[in-house]
Amino acid sequence: MLKRMTTAEPRLLSLGGCAKPGVYEDIHSRFSSVLNFIMGDRIVSLCDASHAPGPFRIITTGLSLEEITAVELSDDLLRLNASLLPVIVSDIYQPPVFTEPTDTDLLQRNLCLSSKYLSQHASSDSLPVLLSDPASAPLSFQGQLAQSLRTGLDLFSLGKYREGTNAMKRRGMGLTPAGDDLLIGFLIGCSWLEVTRKKQLSKIRECVYFAALDNDLMVNTFLYQGYALLVDEDWVDFLLDLSRSEIFSYRSMDRLMGHGASSGADQLLGFHQAVKLFGI
């Protein structure tokens, strides 16, 4: 009963640069390691240290999230119920500016390795596995889902981005439905290609983004992150790995694929679809 914590007091590990000062009291959803607040039309997530830093995330340690009911953010102070945590500039998270890779052969090679790793290691419930198997029982939920997604991807390859997006969005298992995760990954792919490979994809990106938006604030926030390439640290690590790693380590992919039930794998699939479609 008389416990002793080894991490002493509550600490702020990272404050997302997109989290605006103010009082957050409207709770969107609560999980054991994440508390999601509504900030206008976006979600700001208060997370424990098991989550990667991100522009819309506040990462803390030494706190029991269960008891938090409100967050107050000012320029130099974060107030969580009774705890006051000072905010210093180095705590603030902004994703880096991505630059053109110097070695495109390396990039190409890493992309291939990554795609292969994804198809080999994604879990059986995820889209990479589902979509690679043409024989998934048509009359099951997953089977129908697979059909819809294939249709959507076919429409993409025909240049019909709005229709394609509509065929894929808001479908699938998970609190962020699998089709939405695919679109999020696709947007990350588009915006990354634009920035690092100078592809002209802004119109396509806009079209997919606005077609994908719906009334789920959490999904909308993720879509925005993909559209604007304001990604979380784990995606940053993966993207940097692709461009720079002499020996692609897969560690960043493992971290992404550990997300949710299949969220990470589904997003990676979307990313690779974008790369396949537009090339580097």
Partner 1 sequence: MKTIAKIIQGKYLDSVKLMLISRKLREVPGVEDAVAIMATEENKGILAATGMLVDEILPAKDNDIVLVIKGEGDPEAWLSLAEDLLSGKNDKHSGTGKEVASASLESAINHLEHPDICLISVAGKYAAAEADKALDRGLHVMLFSDNVSLEAEFRLKQKAISRGLLMMGPDCGTAILNGVPLAFANAVPRGKIGIVSASGTGLQEVSVAIAHQGFGISQAFGTGGRDGKEEIGGIMLHACLDHLIHDPETEVIVLIAKTPEPKVLEKLWDQIASTPKKVIVNFLKPMETPNLPNIEYCHYLDETAAKACLALSESSPYPLSIPSLSSYVRHRMIEGRKGAVKGLYSGGTLCKEAALIYAETFGKEPLSNLVKDGPNRVKDIWNTDQDCFIDLGEDEFTVGRPHPMIDFSLRAKLIANEGKNPTTTVILLDVVLGWGAHPDPAAELVPVLKALPERIKVVCHVLGTDADPQQASKQKAALEAVGVKVFSSNHEAVDHALAILAEGGEES
Partner 2 sequence: MNKIVLNNNKPGVINIGLEAFAADLRAQGVEVVNLDWRPPLEVDPAALTRMRNAREDRLAPANHEALEIIRKGKPFLVGMGIARDLIPGMHEDLILHAGPPITWERMCGPMRGAVIGALIYEGRAESPEAAEKLAASGKIKYAPCHEHSSVGPMAGIISPSMPVFVIRNETFGNQTYCTQNEGLGKVLRYGAFAPEVITRLKWMEQVLYPVLSRALAHLGKIDLQSLIAQALHMGDEVHNRNRAGTSLLIRQLAPAILKTMENVEESSAVLDFINGNDHFFLNLSMPASKAILDPARNIRNCSLVMVMARNGTDFGIQLSGTGDRWFTGPALVPDALYFPGYSKADANPDIGDSAITETGGLGGFAIAAAPAIVQFVGGNASDALNYTNLMYEITYGESGAYQIPALDFRGTPLGIDVTGVVEKNIAPIIDTGVAHKNPGVGQVGAGVVKAPTEPFVKAYEALAQLIID
Q: Can you give the binding site for partner 2, defined by CB under 8 A?
A: 1-5, 8-10, 63-64, 66-67, 81-83
Tell me the sheet residues that pair with 36. Answer: 29, 45
DSSP designation for 83: E
Residue 200 binding partner 1, by CB under 8 A: no
**Site stretch for partner 1 (CB under 8 A), options 53-61, 173-181, 185-193, 248-256:** 173-181
Q: Are strands 71-73 and 42-47 parallel, antiparallel or unpaired?
A: unpaired
Q: Are 223 and 267 in contact (CB under 8 A)?
A: no
In the complex, least distance from residue 62 CB atom to partner 2, rounded to whole angstroms? 9
CB neighbourhood size of 239 (10 A): 22
Residue 30 binding partner 1, by CB under 8 A: yes
Residue 169 interaction partner, one of partner 1, partner 2, none, beta carbon < 5-8 Å per kind: partner 1
**Stretch 256-275 residues interacting with partner 1 (CB under 8 A):** 260-263
Q: What angle do CA 253, 251, 45 make, to 5 degrees?
A: 60
In the complex, least distance from residue 71 CB atom to partner 2, rounded to whole angstroms? 15
Residue 163 interaction partner, one of partner 2, partner 1, none, beta carbon < 5-8 Å per kind: none
Tokens 């600490």, residue? Answer: 11
11 versus 276: smaller Cβ distance to partner 2? 11
CA proximity to 38, closest of 19, 51, 21, 24: 24
Residue 64 interaction partner, one of partner 2, partner 1, none, beta carbon < 5-8 Å per kind: partner 2
Count Cβ atoms within 10 A of the Cβ of residue 19 and give its class: 0-12 exposed, 13-18 middle, 19 or more buried: buried
In the complex, least distance from residue 29 CB atom to partner 1, rounded to whole angstroms? 9
Structure tokens at 221: 């926030």
Contact residues: partner 1, CB under 8 A: 30-32, 125, 139-145, 148, 169-177, 179, 214-216, 260-263
